[in-house]
Amino acid sequence: MAFDLDLIQQYYSSLAAQLEAVRAKLNRPMSLTEKILYTHLYNSGDLKEFQRGGDYVNFSPDRVAMQDATAQMALLQFMQAGKEKVAVPSTVHCDHLIQAKVGADDDLKTAISTNKEVFDFLSNISNKYGIGFWKPGAGIIHQVILENYAFPGGMMIGTDSHTVNAGGLGMVAIGVGGADAVDVMAGMPWELKFPKLIGVKLTGKLSGWTSAKDVILKVAGLLTVKGGTGKILEYFGEGAENISCTGKGTICNMGAEIGATTSLFGYDEKMRAYLRGTERADVAEAADKVAAHLTGDQEVYAEPGKYFDEVIEINLDELEPHINGPFSPDKAWPISEFARAVKENGYPRDLEVGLIGSCTNSSYEDITRAASVAQQAVDKGLKVATEFTITPGSEQVRYTVDRDGLLDVFGKIGGVVLANACGPCIGQWARHNADKGEKNSIITSFNRNFAKRNDGNPNTHAFVASPEIVTAMTIAGDLTFNPLTDTLTNQKGEQVKLEEPRGIEMPAKGFSVEDNGYQAPAEDGSGIEINVHPESRRLQLLEPFAPWEGEDLTGMKLLIKAEGKCTTDHISMAGPWLRYRGHLDNISNNLLIGAVNYFNKKTNAVTNQLTGETGEVPETARAYKAAGIGSIVVGDENYGEGSSREHAAMEPRHLGVRVVLVKSFARIHETNLKKQGMLGLTFADKDDYDKVREDDTISVLGLREFSPGNSLLVRLDHADGTTDEFEANHTYNETQIAWFRAGSALNMIRIQNQ
């Protein structure tokens, strides 16, 4: 049975009429992306032809999803909004706070015990406000969403950058910060700059060792980590229709690594089969009646160059398996070139760990393809040459593959099954000896491979590939091994070759599960009290941020000038810090500790201008705040790339940072800064980055006239008495400027509710 069936049927019943009104206004064929966006306007009276990449538009998403690490802060903010119940269907998923250490059962028990205070808080607050709650062990948020909530033509937001996974079922699904989630849960409009559109035409059909993962690994190599910023990727063509629904989800999921707002596919037979296979035949029947509206118009796909801002074409018949990395998910290598790359670049050749699963590749099809390789190893007298872990995506998938004997196959070659959770993908991995910092290589079927991402070791070279390629490489234990061409020596000394993997899209016996881990909210939560102990180390009630003083920001001290890649992992690390995601003051002690200081090339070592001494970044920020002095962060390109975590915006705000000035922003992080009342600016001339000195006192002038489209003036007062001035740009509209003046978007909501 489907969740929210009434909502879905109501949307479909009005879809034709809504699109007729849109067509009358646009007077042209439409992509699927446009159909979904235009039929989810917050106010239908706003309907017009929106300028892509220019107009800010208010939308009304169908649902909100939150994972446990981000839900804490999102719901602590929602408590301040003055609402008795969420305005749209919403869910919380406990998947981030389970650390992988020894195996599924023991790790889950440890997590439930260790995080009891947080899990109880999330359960109670979900009960109070009418939010569905998925217990620890239920599965990874994005797989659970795909199995239970995603529907073709829908629109959702989620407090995780990989919310985009639901594009595999034809949704516009977008990762956001918690403050955005609060807007929607409070019944307010959700604002997004109308995205540009990239059409990705897929021809041919995947075969052999090539999988859906290789499509997005190829696209990441083409577009780079910021090539999708402010854009939605819409996949179409016969090749798209040939890819399974969960394969589509894999492609959409990792679209987050190119900065894309989201990615999606049109409704087709593969989606229909997946809906029926996950006991949502009623959704499939409703979608079938409006199927023509749940894909792009034929004219758009026939002449994509006329309707998309950019078009990419990939022939799946010619696509090779890819391996991406290290240290960036867009460093793409066709497998035929990878061995040479390993040797020429000096990457550690011996593989230490292979990990499959995560929200990107943990479907039934993924596990069957990897298991087919593992079974070959059993049959041919091979075992894994190194550590090997398997992470199912949900309890439904885990139970089903266990029933079908697939987990036993992994065990026979030395694999260890981890809990249905994010685990090593987000740094929740108690990896042995990682603290030694030794240079090593691992390979995963995850999505992200920034330095320190998985195990905290900056010298771990993490590579990303499909689950079947990871399994094969783990059996070989050698990064230069190519399973398409090379042989292995088995236990008898014989040369054997792995055959092409074989996968099963849907289980022949159907999916099964004893307890999917879902807890429905109370019908009436008005009597439920939410108590947070004032001395808790894990949870802390929020105090509103102060409004703008009405003056220019003058006399600020440079906190750090970050050099090179500065992702949300660098700004607010995950891993062991996840335990403090509900306590703003405690987690602020990780502020920018991973960022590289331009002036000394070190991390977590900056000059305190009050003392002249070198100190840690959070400690220095606290010193400026205690002295009543604002501070500023300067950054490089694509600042804030990666996760949607709004802690990366709330922490600097909490510690007195007033301005973040960079060469360019990643979309979600820029929005998060705006939501928290921060000033996010970009250099009008990127060369001005070089003018910022370590001992500068910095001012931002022109704020009394702060308005859309008008630049601000930055003045650098150098310690030697000289001065530099230059322009800084911004993308604030009138609403966002009002957030800045009020101190945060949440302050505005509270004022409106009062």
CA separation for the pair 130, 185 (Å, rounded):
10
CA separation for the pair 669, 641 (Å, rounded):
7
Catalytic one among 4, 62, 68, 160? 160
Contacts of residue 713, Cβ cutoff 8 Å, sequence gap at least 6: 700, 701, 702, 725, 726, 727, 728
Which segments of 69-162 are extended strands (E)? 90-93, 132-134, 155-158
CA separation for the pair 187, 611 (Å, rounded):
48
Residue 643 annotated among the catalytic residues of the structure: yes
Residue 645 annotated among the catalytic residues of the structure: yes
Residue 369 annotated among the catalytic residues of the structure: no
The size of the chain, in residues, is 754
Residue 512, helix vs strand vs coil: coil
CA separation for the pair 681, 659 (Å, rounded):
7
Catalytic one among 40, 322, 461, 645? 645
Q: What tokens appear for 192 in the block?
A: 């997004």
Task: Answer whether 81's CB lies under 8 Å from 750's CB.
Answer: yes
Residue 685 annotated among the catalytic residues of the structure: no
Closest CA to 386 of 315, 426, 307, 440: 440
Catalytic one among 60, 161, 643, 644? 643
Give the count of beta carbons closer than 10 Å to the beta carbon of residue 493.
Answer: 7
Q: How far apart are the first and last CA of the chain?
A: 39
CA separation for the pair 187, 200 (Å, rounded):
34
CA separation for the pair 467, 670 (Å, rounded):
33
Catalytic one among 93, 96, 322, 693? 96
The radius of gyration of the chain from alpha carbons, rounded to an integer in Å, stands at 25
Q: What tokens appear for 287 in the block?
A: 């979608």
Residue with tokens 């022939």: 315
Q: Is residue 326 reached through a cis peptide bond, with omega within 30 degrees of 0 on the bond before it?
A: yes
Positive or negative, the CA dihedral 74, 395, 472, 427 is: positive
Which segments of 508-603 are extended strands (E)? 518-519, 553-561
Residue 160 annotated among the catalytic residues of the structure: yes
Which amino acid appears at position 292 of this protein?
Answer: A
CA separation for the pair 144, 141 (Å, rounded):
5
Residue 537 annotated among the catalytic residues of the structure: no
CA separation for the pair 90, 668 (Å, rounded):
20
What is the 3-state secondary structure of 669-737?
HHHHHHHCCCEEEEECCHHHHHHCCCCCEEEEECHHHCCCCCCEEEEEECCCCCEEEEEEECCCCHHHH
Question: In angstroms, how far apart are the furthest CA atoms of the chain?
Answer: 79
Any idea which residues carry the catalytic annotation? 95-96, 160, 448, 643, 645
